[in-house]
Structure 1
Amino acid sequence: MERCPDTDVSVSDMKPQQTRSRGSLKIFFGYASGVGKTYSMLRAAHEAKSRGIDVVAGFVDTHGRAQTTQLLHGLESLRTRKMDFESGLKREFDLDAALRRSPRLILVDELAHTNVPGCRHTNRYQDVEELLRAGIDVYSTVNVENIESLNDMVAAITGEAAKDRILDSVFDEAAQVELVDVEPEELIERLQAGEIYQDEKEKEEAAELFTLDKLTALREIALRRCADRINKMTELVQAKSRRGYFTDEHILVCLSSAPSNAKIIRTAARMAKAFHGEFTALFVETSDFSVMEEEDKERIRVHMRLAQQMGAKIETVFGEDVAFQISEFARLFGVSKIVVGRAGAKRNRLFGKPTLTEKLISYASGIDIYIIPDKYAAVYRARRAKRESEAFSLADMSKGAAALVAATLAGMVIEKLGFSEANIITVYILSVLATSVIVSKRMYSLIFSAINVVVFNFFFVTPKYSLTAYDSGYPITFLVMFLAAFITSSLAVRLKNHVKQSAQTAFRTQILFDTNQLLQQEKEKEGIVNITANQLIKLLSRDIVYYPVEKEQLREP
């Protein structure tokens, strides 16, 4: 008999220490009858007894196996209850006797067993739960077929569904799970040697299940289920400690309006399938989304639908720094690999801003970043830049001109009062800042940053009403003035975008909060539909048409 050390994991290392007011459950888990679950449980009981622990056998079914029966010697055993059943008298675990005896550790075999009518609880795992609440530790056994979520899968292999089952939560919340594992070939040899079933009829019935292919499949399911349990415990600890490590693959693909984004999504989907990992598609909505052309918005929606069809979970976050939002999402949700297009990895200018990939590497240094070739990216960016440069706003030009005229008039007043040029420069910088706040497009704030410098030179620098300057220090003054105006305008635009985005997020949150409250108060179907439709209208600014469905047919809207 083999023991898989990797799956004999104690929750004590992963959960807060349990108080003595509640007992702990250890499950001996196997993929088929005869692997040695009860035998391993009894050996562990003798080890515990040798350490001075008060051990009692509450209910142990040896199935007549000599080696297992021999291990019962030396352990105190409780009497079982004899209950009337359809087939005659049946032995059942005596819960009340166990509670009266109150040992430190009790053995209760076959955790998934369904009790005979007349017992206090329907299932034995409910008996065990009462023991745990009383502060008694419990050893028990479970087969892979007894876990609720695996029942159908196992039935497809064995041809028969198990009647006795436990909830997945009982298995996952156990303090320890020890996988009792043997090679399928050895298990078949045990069956043929009569070590599992002594009755010939039982042996013949078991022979149909005990084939190499079926036992191998059941063994794989048991191993996977143990691994899943460990992953869940690890995720719990990771969430509590907020550490950036991960044990399972989680692929994150970044959504955009680029035409080649579909290729990136498909590549990420293949990676997720190959790694048997979780797949998430993330869209970072910036302030530019509201002014994005409808063609690009529609392309984003198409890409979201494609990702969903490929099995991705769609998530949306809001923020101006796309790389930071991606890296924070990846850190919080345990992403192991990020997939982006090559456009985000290519810098256009020698002194250009850091690329998306460079920022991601800086923000998320512990996560693998995969760059997918994107041959259409340069064409796409150029086409967008051309559309933006062609846009003209008379309102923004008027606002900027008004701020410029006001600054010039104020400068003339300051000059008449005899103040220095430094004060006039401050007024023009204030004009640039005001322009950045009142215009809708950043382009105009940058344009008026340069125009303010030129106008200051024309009206207030000697010789006046020209673009020349006698003082050799003025070029430096102009440069500093332009940089100050440029930086303040950029910061003002960024701040304004953050304010808009925060307001949008607050509005959406309020809508969802109101929807939750309204739906809780409404009981009628028509009212629920009306509330949902009205809230969607507020959220999406679109008309909503509701079509009821009756007998799989659409009715009048």
Structure 2
Amino acid sequence: MSRAASDVRANPDLLLRALEQDAHTQEYRERRGHLKIFFGYAAGVGKTYAMLQAAHAAKRRGVDVVAGYIEPHERPETARLSRGIECIPHMSIEHNGIELAEFDLDAALARAPRLILVDELAHTNAPGCRHEKRYQDVEELLRAGIDVYTTVNVQHIESLNDMVASITGVVVRERIPDRVFDDADQVELVDIEPEDLLERLKAGLVYRAAQADRAQRNFFSIENLTALREIALRRCADRTGRLADAARVLGNRDYYTSERILVCLSPAPTNPRIVRAAARLSKAFHGELVALFVESPRTQTMDEDERARLSSNSALAEQLGAQVETVYGDDIAFQIAEFARLSGISKIVMGRTGEAHGLHHALFGRKSLVERLIAIAPNLDIYIIPDQPAPARRGHDRQAASGPHLPSRRDMLLTLGLSAIATAVGTAFRGLGFADSSIISLYILTALLTAVTTAGRVCTIVSSILSVVLYNFCFVTPLFSFDSYDRSYLVTFAIMFATAMVAAELTARLTDNARASAKNAFRTRVLLETNQLLQRAQGPQARARVAMSQLVKLLRLDVVFYPADGDLLGEPLYESAGAEDHRTSLFTEYERAVATWTFNNNKHAGASTHTLPEAQCLYLAVRAGNEVFGVVGIDLKGRVLEAFEHSIVLSIVGECALALESDKAAREREEAAVLAKNEQLRANLLRSIGHDLRTPLTAISGSAAVLRDGGEKLEDAKRLELADAIYNDSLWLIDTVENLLAITRIEDGDMQLNLTSELMDEVIAAALSHVARESHGHRVTITHTDEILLVKIDVHLIMQVLTNLITNAFKYTPKGSTVTIGARREGSSVVVEVADDGPGVSDRDKPRVFDRFFIAEGPRPVDSHRSFGLGLSLCRSIIEAHGGIIEVADNKPHGAVFRFTLPAEEIEIHE
């Protein structure tokens, strides 16, 4: 191979990833529906019209086509094309006194057409619908194997939202994740010239007259439409380029170096713009997007609004295809740089709030977050997205930091109390003649104690101010006045205030770090404990209980667990976080329906999600790969999980899924081992049958041939001898086949006991009548008792046990031997014994005599038929099925005793 040829080989890691993704995508698409998007740059370009034309073409090809939802645009040509296509009735929902017509997802799934038309993919559903967004309805249709035609405009794509808003001045609220557009099987660009669209608008073919005038003034300008058209064309070209890149990689033509792009998450209102910019950058570089949130001591005091925004920004990053990660540390710049180094990040995207270097930067030389990040990681490419600070927030690197919070009454009283105590102690110091430096140190100590014992910074600031004021008022001449004869005290006050503030701030930071470290150590310990407890738990239910208890310990919220039972959910388990039992409100039909949807679709649903958000619980699929082992429901009680909490919850659920998968794999291995053992037994049985049945069959066929060809020349005694031989060999074969059939039923689990009440003496007599012909040369005795022995047995099977034991005694004892059969009552059991005075069973063979296919060494049976080693094994299986035991012992002075027990039945005496 030439050097030129070898230089163009694809990166093997990237090629393997592309092949795996292509295989997974191919398998997934074989079982899901296909999505075709009719894409335009503005309303009125003809997306719905083109979709209806394509639907009629499909219908002419014999495809089952229905219209799920067509937006009533009141356009004559569109209305005309809608005729002739079956329509699913809309679902009517009342919202704020207005009747809204929405797409009926359940009716569409029940109708199950081959192709369904669903207009306006980015539409937001009314409250009460299963999903918050229509694109989620479409995804459920695709998972059900239904093909979908739909429409969308360029301004509705998430990553392009800010760009479109900057061009048009209009922020579009209805958006779809980029992945929905990128994963579509087909995208058809519906395009017309902007001038032609304006003509259509003026002619009333897009909106009504009044609405058209307003749209033309605010949105439909030639500049806006031209820019939007350019973005739409570029977006389609990017999609085509990515498809070509994937084909090129699989064809070993070329490859791209994988880029990993990091975007920083925060609760800032402007953070979504940063996330969207990073998503566009990752697509441009064909890279992987990672979203990082750095949790620091300052994030512990976020209010509910900030937590909700952070959760929303994380969800946006996930929608745009980012892998969301959370790390913890006080130094945000160091944490970002270290994560980037360990994760192979090549580019970082962050926002800059237009900060200026103020006085505190000049005095203390404090660098901004971006400057510190550049200093720590000079080799990283850092992209800064200019931004403006939120109105109520200041500071340059407050990633997820909150503004000041009003202190509680307790903290304020504690602050005032400590200052009062310091003043009293300072007065005592003055009386004892201590220097002023001791009193100043006392007030600094008070500020430190306030920082340690109170939350937030407000009380620390108040304590520092009070220290200066009280010292001036109580200890500086003139006393009890804010005046001072010595102006040098002003410097003392300033230094005292600065010292108290710096010391208190450092103490507060240490306290916050200690609290946050303890909190995160607890969470990490819960995660580590989960793995250990899951390993020790035995069985799926025990493992589920472990995961539930760990979630309750972590979140202090009620948890439910629905285990998978085949293709359905089983009965739920419940774990309470407190003394109250809330299972009545959590085990409703609606909550179970949401859990079932999560199970069937392998996706999150319920509270704090966009799918069935009215549910009380957040439902998470306990999944390993594409297999769902159950559903966990967490009763959020209106709160939103923190980013770090959410990642720990997902880790616990994932550990539980792996443990349940391990359980399933172990069961499958056991079943496979049993099957292999059974197959081996069957193989041994067939080999034994093939060899050992040949002798009696040969004897039967030979005797029959002699009788057929020359029977009339034989003496009567000889003919009778041949007939007896045929009969005896036939009986042996019948007994052997019966044993084989019984063994087969036992192995397959098909042996069912037909229990009836029987007298044991009658059962023994019936069994002896079956073996009477084989007793030639043997003496048979029966020991009787005066007691009536009544047992509840399957008489046919117990007779087979007795027949096997008696026949076995005849075979392995010489003629003239005695076989003794008896039964007696012992406690709640009836003991039956079959004894002989033959050679007996050696001590070495006793432990294995009831094993299948075991044949004791020693003299062959008297009738010369080789045993299969099945008779005694069958006897043990039958006796154990009746709840008894069977054993072999020595018969004194010689011989063997086979003894088994059966449950006795009490005799009812009616007077």
User: TM-score, structure 1 length as denominator?
Assistant: 0.56
DSSP-derived class of the 1:299 partner: helix
Q: Which residue of 1 aligns with 2:308?
A: 298
DSSP-derived class of the 1:314 partner: strand
Q: Shift in Å at residue 155 of structure 1?
A: 13
Q: Which residue of 2 aligns with 1:2?
A: 2
Question: Is 1:222–2:234 an aligned residue pair?
Answer: no
Q: Larger Rg: 1 or 2? A: 2
Question: Is 1:494–2:513 an aligned residue pair?
Answer: no
DSSP-derived class of the 1:534 partner: helix
Name the aligned partner's letter for residue 337 of structure 2.
S
More contact order relative to length (CA 8 Å, sep ≥ 6)? 1
For residue 376 of structure 2, the aligned residue among 363, 367, 377 is 363
DSSP-derived class of the 1:546 partner: strand
Name the aligned partner's letter for residue 421 of structure 1.
D
Q: Shift in Å at residue 466 of structure 1?
A: 0.7
Q: Matches of 2:525 and 2:367 in 1, distance apart?
A: 36
Name the aligned partner's letter for residue 355 of structure 1.
S
Name the aligned partner's letter for residue 415 of structure 1.
R
Q: Which residue of 1 aligns with 2:557?
A: 542
For residue 355 of structure 2, the aligned residue among 346, 350, 359 is 346
Q: Matches of 2:436 and 2:384 in 1, distance apart?
A: 53
Name the aligned partner's letter for residue 403 of structure 1.
L
Task: Tell me if the contact between 1:319 and 1:501 (Cα under 8 Å) persists in the aligned partners.
Answer: no
DSSP-derived class of the 2:561 partner: coil
Q: 1:91-170 maps to which residues of 2 (within 5 A)? A: 150=19
Question: Is 1:252–2:262 an aligned residue pair?
Answer: yes
| Cα-to-partner distance string for 1:11-39 (whole Å, 9 max, x where unaligned) | xxxxxxxxxxxxxxxxxx899xxxxxxxx
Q: Which residue of 1 aligns with 2:287?
A: 277
Alpha carbons of structure 1 residues 538 and 221: separation in structure 2 relative to 1, 3 Å: farther
Q: Which residue of 2 aligns with 1:329?
A: 339
Q: Matches of 1:550 and 1:305 in 2, distance apart?
A: 31
Task: Tell me if the contact between 1:255 and 1:261 (Cα under 8 Å) persists in the aligned partners.
Answer: yes
Question: Is 1:514–2:529 an aligned residue pair?
Answer: yes
DSSP-derived class of the 1:341 partner: strand
Q: Which residue of 2 aligns with 1:318?
A: 328
Please, what is the CA RMSD of the aligned residues? 3.7
Q: Which residue of 2 aligns with 1:117?
A: none
DSSP-derived class of the 1:290 partner: helix
Name the aligned partner's letter for residue 462 of structure 1.
T
| Cα-to-partner distance string for 1:471-509 (whole Å, 9 max, x where unaligned) | 232111111111111110110011101111111121112
Question: Is 1:381–2:393 an aligned residue pair?
Answer: yes
Q: Which residue of 2 aligns with 1:22?
A: none
Q: Which residue of 2 aligns with 1:60?
A: none
Question: Is 1:402–2:412 an aligned residue pair?
Answer: no
Q: Matches of 1:402 and 1:450 in 2, distance apart?
A: 14
Q: Which ranges in structure 1 are unaligned for 5 or more consecutive residues?
A: 9-28, 32-141, 158-213, 228-246
Alpha carbons of structure 1 residues 349 and 556: separation in structure 2 relative to 1, 3 Å: farther
Name the aligned partner's letter for residue 379 of structure 1.
P
Task: Tell me if the contact between 1:250 and 1:279 (Cα under 8 Å) persists in the aligned partners.
Answer: yes
Q: Matches of 1:278 and 1:249 in 2, distance apart?
A: 6
Q: Matches of 1:296 and 1:219 in 2, distance apart?
A: 43
Task: Tell me if the contact between 2:404 and 2:457 (Cα under 8 Å) persists in the aligned partners.
Answer: no
Name the aligned partner's letter for residue 372 of structure 2.
K
Q: Which residue of 2 aligns with 1:461?
A: 476
Q: Matches of 1:525 and 1:357 in 2, distance apart?
A: 50
Q: 1:516-531 maps to which residues of 2 (within 5 A)? A: 516-531=531-546
| Cα-to-partner distance string for 1:258-292 (whole Å, 9 max, x where unaligned) | 22222222221221222122221111112233332
| Cα-to-partner distance string for 1:451-485 (whole Å, 9 max, x where unaligned) | 10110111111111111111232111111111111
Q: Shift in Å at residue 367 of structure 1?
A: 1.3
Q: Which residue of 1 aligns with 2:668?
A: none
Q: 1:477-492 maps to which residues of 2 (within 5 A)? A: 477-492=492-507
User: TM-score, structure 2 length as denominator?
Assistant: 0.35
DSSP-derived class of the 1:462 partner: coil
Name the aligned partner's letter for residue 496 of structure 1.
T
Q: Matches of 1:358 and 1:419 in 2, distance apart?
A: 48
Alpha carbons of structure 1 residues 476 and 545: separation in structure 2 relative to 1, 3 Å: same
Q: Matches of 2:283 and 2:327 in 1, distance apart?
A: 25
Q: Shift in Å at residue 257 of structure 1?
A: 1.1
Name the aligned partner's letter for residue 297 of structure 1.
R
Q: Matches of 1:218 and 1:281 in 2, distance apart?
A: 29
Task: Tell me if the contact between 1:250 and 1:337 (Cα under 8 Å) persists in the aligned partners.
Answer: yes
Q: Matches of 1:362 and 1:308 in 2, distance apart?
A: 30
Question: Is 1:443–2:458 an aligned residue pair?
Answer: yes
Q: Matches of 2:545 and 2:306 in 1, distance apart?
A: 31
Q: Matches of 2:288 and 2:424 in 1, distance apart?
A: 63
| Cα-to-partner distance string for 1:362-397 (whole Å, 9 max, x where unaligned) | 32222121122434x322527999x95562421111
Task: Tell me if the contact between 1:432 and 1:489 (Cα under 8 Å) persists in the aligned partners.
Answer: yes
Q: 1:15-94 maps to which residues of 2 (within 5 A)? A: none
Task: Tell me if the contact between 1:281 and 1:315 (Cα under 8 Å) persists in the aligned partners.
Answer: yes
Q: Matches of 1:341 and 1:380 in 2, distance apart?
A: 17
DSSP-derived class of the 1:378 partner: coil
Task: Tell me if the contact between 2:18 and 2:249 (Cα under 8 Å) persists in the aligned partners.
Answer: no
Name the aligned partner's letter for residue 318 of structure 1.
Y
Task: Tell me if the contact between 2:349 and 2:385 (Cα under 8 Å) persists in the aligned partners.
Answer: yes
| Cα-to-partner distance string for 1:67-126 (whole Å, 9 max, x where unaligned) | xxxxxxxxxxxxxxxxxxxxxxxxxxxxxxxxxxxxxxxxxxxxxxxxxxxxxxxxxxxx
Task: Tell me if the contact between 2:351 and 2:384 (Cα under 8 Å) persists in the aligned partners.
Answer: yes
Q: Matches of 1:436 and 1:453 in 2, distance apart?
A: 16
DSSP-derived class of the 1:547 partner: strand
Task: Tell me if the contact between 1:258 and 1:380 (Cα under 8 Å) persists in the aligned partners.
Answer: no
Q: Matches of 2:419 and 2:447 in 1, distance apart?
A: 8
